[in-house]
Structure 1
Amino acid sequence: MNNDHIDRRLLYFVGNLSIFMIGLGFAVRATIAPDLQREIYDLIDIANSASMVGEALGATFTGFALTLLFGSALVDFIGMKRMLLLSAVGYILGACGLYVATIMPATGAVQAIVMGSLLLTGLGWGAVEAASNPMVAALYPEEKTHRLNILHAWWPAGIVIGGLLGLAFAKIGLPWELNLVLLIIPAIVMAALVIKAEFPVTERVAVGVSYGDMLKELFRKPLYWVFWLSMFFVAASELAPGQWVNIALSNIVGMQGILLLVYVSGLMFVMRHFAGAIAKKISSVGLMFVSCIFAATGLYMLSLATTPILAFAAATVWGIGVCYMWPTMLAITAERFYKGGALALGLTGFAGGLAIQFVLPMMGRVFDEAKAEAAGGVDQLSLLSGEALDEVIRYASVESFQTVAVLPLFLLPVFGLIWLFDVRKKKAA
């Protein structure tokens, strides 16, 4: 595969910027969710406004999963350039749509605009993953784990910047709508760079693997589907707690959970730059095995944290665990099933996106059921207030985190056996 005519440095910067943009979007959505609830959904139906916000935010993950499912199959046909331009358009139109919704009367039409706008940002998110992952795999075929981890280091970087700016805007009294500008600026810059750049074809196309052979690579290799199913647990260990941490940690230790998410994201940004060196010593699968141990331990420790110091210590262990998981799973897919091309990478990411839609509602159900159990029933719960209610909420938060803490443990025998088989195979050779 010859990419000598390609400006790899420019394209790698474009890839990093695209991942930074979607991380920024993740933080912005978390920041503005209370504002959307207060200024739109409370006015429409205050009794169900929280559920309505949750459904609207869920549209983002729906768009993400759908684009990965279909966009990854199409990226070879429409090209990485068009896919990244579509992602920029999704973020720009999505941000503009959300702003329009804030200046309209709170009606059912506004609700549809918010839902559609968040769906557009989700489609843009998925388009970034559908294009950037195979692009980096094609540009750096000999160091996929290292390069994909650095690429995805810009996801937590976006969360850090977006989260801190959102807190700063609120602190100095700026309009919360200013957060929407954070979605537009990197999208415009990325689109300008993409228009003038020349992109490579995917690895599958470069080595002459037909579309039919790509499908055979996936459906004739059961090991791919083992990794695909594992991605459900990987995403559930990282992204679901990341979305839930603001709710749970605020109740458990009395601090803003978004601060903990910013801290963990900063930790991940730094550590992902060292993934290549670690993978060379213990292999990509070995890295996943070790990561699962840290992730499970950290999640359980988070559920037991009672002070900010303990919460930060637990978050450090969890952050070390989940730090490498998502990009390393993509790297394993690209290394072991390169004939599967962009479709293999996209389906793996699709499994991760789909997992969030299952796990977050599960955490919510555990939370609600634990509240009722601790209070002695739903009727009793409605009568509680003050310290008694706080204790019930804390108990529910602990239960929801401990439920998720077991998920990485299911992956230990999977990655452990594959790692052992790889080591024996290497020694035999």
Structure 2
Amino acid sequence: MQNIQSNKLFWASCLALLVTSLSFGIRAGMMNQLGVDFKLNATQLGTITATAFWGFPLAMVVGGFIVDVIGMKRLLVLAFVFHLAGIALTIFAQGYWTLFFSTLLIGIANGTVEAACNPLVATLYPKEKTTRLNYFHLWFPGGIVIGTLVVTLFVNLHLGWQLQVATMLIPTLIYGYLFSRLDFPPTERVSSGYSSGDMYSAVFTPLFIFMFVCMLMTAITELFTGQWIGLLLKNVTDNALLLLTLTTGIMVVGRAFAKPIVKKLEPQGVLLFSAIFAAAGLYMLSTFTGSSVFLAALIFGIGVCYFWPTMIGFVAENIPQSGALGLNLLGGAGMFAVSIYTMFMGGFYDGLIVKHLPAGSTLATYAAATEGTPEAAMLNEAKNLAGPEVLKITLVLPIILIVAFTFLVVYMRSRRSRQLTGAQTI
């Protein structure tokens, strides 16, 4: 006889997601140091960052296909093993390739956590999926805040990035222990009686495809900017890492109070609200300087706050037949889009820096310049100009999303009125 302890399963899931987000926060905070220690340029750093976003969608999509078969518990045991391996390999990294593969392993672990935990939360709380998914996903920005604070503390104490990474072992071991002791329910799709055929049909409906495409843009808007904000704006403000902490702190608070907002606006209304604020915040980040950048980060944080959990919650509520596969295809697509965009923008950022250097210059020459020399000053100025340009290009995405989610609000309103008319006719 199974003894399903919903609250314990939920909190163990939150710990697993905390490890996922710590990997983002700590890595974002130590990117510059990795570049210095291993002599990596922005293109290489972009590829390493993108690797986490390759492993993530791979694990999510594969997990979406197999979670109903092997169960959520076995999937989370795999996540635990991959997390341990990835963390250990990062701690003992020797250069580009070990960083590449360690990040890939952590990305696979992170994706496996989401592949199991998103359907788990939707299954545990069928009456409030979007709200509970927001509660669950507040641990993503929460972990990034903790991660960036750990980085700041350890840097001030002159402790190396290896120790920063090692802090991830604590929640990893705890969630691995908890999941090994708890019973798991079958996924909601299985318990609701939807067949595999229903599931595959659901992911080819126009509404699911529309949300799939929108997820590509919401994920890039939130996660690309979050991962690169320190690098892109480090010459605009002395506290670029604190910008990330502020943005993600707003996301924690917003998701914690998601219930009344979701109830008032409904998921589609929340998404439209988010797109408007994200566009405004990104524009402000790309144009403001000095202390006003913190206001921009505040607005941007409010904007991206609800994107990820509400996208997943919308599909869980309105296309339940898609099951775990639908949720994981959505999340996997988002992360894959971020990986491609991050790789492209790494090289594009290097190109923008070169464009702002004297004609005929090479980035390698200026990157090797000693601090305090005219060449180093010119490189900093070039970066100062290039970072905001990358953000301005990314701004196109939330502007498109404003139009898309306006359409979604109108569509869902008309769909509800048709359903009410049909019910009255019956």
Same topology, TM > 0.5: yes
Q: Is 2:308 aligned against 1:326?
A: yes
1:91-130 superposed Cα distances (whole Å, 9 cap, x missing partner):
111111223335xxxxxxx654333222111110000100
Match of 1:256 among 236, 239, 262: 239
Unpaired runs of at least 5, structure 1 = 43-47, 103-109
Match of 2:424 in 1: none
* In structure 1, C-alpha distance between the alignment counterparts of 2:362 and 2:45, rounded to whole Å: 26
* In structure 1, C-alpha distance between the alignment counterparts of 2:224 and 2:63, rounded to whole Å: 24
Deviates more, 1:316-325 or 1:12-21: 12-21
* In structure 1, C-alpha distance between the alignment counterparts of 2:243 and 2:135, rounded to whole Å: 22
Q: Is 2:356 aligned against 1:395?
A: no
Match of 1:6 in 2: 4
Q: Give the deviation of 1:59 after TM superposition.
A: 2.1
1:315-372 superposed Cα distances (whole Å, 9 cap, x missing partner):
0110000000011000011111111111000000011101112222343344334334
Deviates more, 1:147-156 or 1:91-100: 91-100
Match of 1:107 in 2: none
Contact 2:278 2:304 in 1 (8 A): yes
Match of 2:81 among 79, 89, 99: 89
1:43-98 superposed Cα distances (whole Å, 9 cap, x missing partner):
xxxxx555434333322211111001111111111111111111111111111122
Match of 2:264 among 275, 281, 298: 281
Give the alignment of 1:218-297 within 5 angstroms: 218-219=203-204, 221-253=205-237, 255-297=238-280
Q: Give the deviation of 1:386 after TM superposition.
A: 5.8
Percent of counterpart pairs with the same letter? 36
* In structure 2, C-alpha distance between the alignment counterparts of 1:59 and 1:394, rounded to whole Å: 26
Match of 2:395 in 1: 405
Match of 1:105 in 2: none
Match of 2:193 among 197, 208, 217: 208
* In structure 2, C-alpha distance between the alignment counterparts of 1:56 and 1:364, rounded to whole Å: 10
* In structure 1, C-alpha distance between the alignment counterparts of 2:41 and 2:359, rounded to whole Å: 23
User: Structure 1 residues 274, 252: closer, same or farther in 2, change over 3 A?
Assistant: same
Query: Which TM-score applies when normalising by structure 2?
Result: 0.91
Question: Superposition RMSD on alpha carbons, in Å?
Answer: 2.1
Match of 2:318 among 336, 348, 352: 336
Query: Which TM-score applies when normalising by structure 1?
Result: 0.90
Match of 2:338 among 350, 356, 372: 356
What secondary structure, in the 3-state scheme, does the structure 1 residue paired with 2:186 have?
coil
* In structure 1, C-alpha distance between the alignment counterparts of 2:111 and 2:330, rounded to whole Å: 12
The alignment covers a number of residue pairs equal to: 411
Match of 1:79 in 2: 71
Match of 2:121 in 1: 136
Contact 2:274 2:306 in 1 (8 A): yes
User: Structure 1 residues 332, 378: closer, same or farther in 2, change over 3 A?
Assistant: farther
Q: Is 2:17 aligned against 1:19?
A: yes
1:111-158 superposed Cα distances (whole Å, 9 cap, x missing partner):
543332221111100001001100000011111111000100011111
Q: Give the deviation of 1:38 after TM superposition.
A: 3.7
* In structure 2, C-alpha distance between the alignment counterparts of 1:154 and 1:200, rounded to whole Å: 23
* In structure 2, C-alpha distance between the alignment counterparts of 1:81 and 1:416, rounded to whole Å: 39
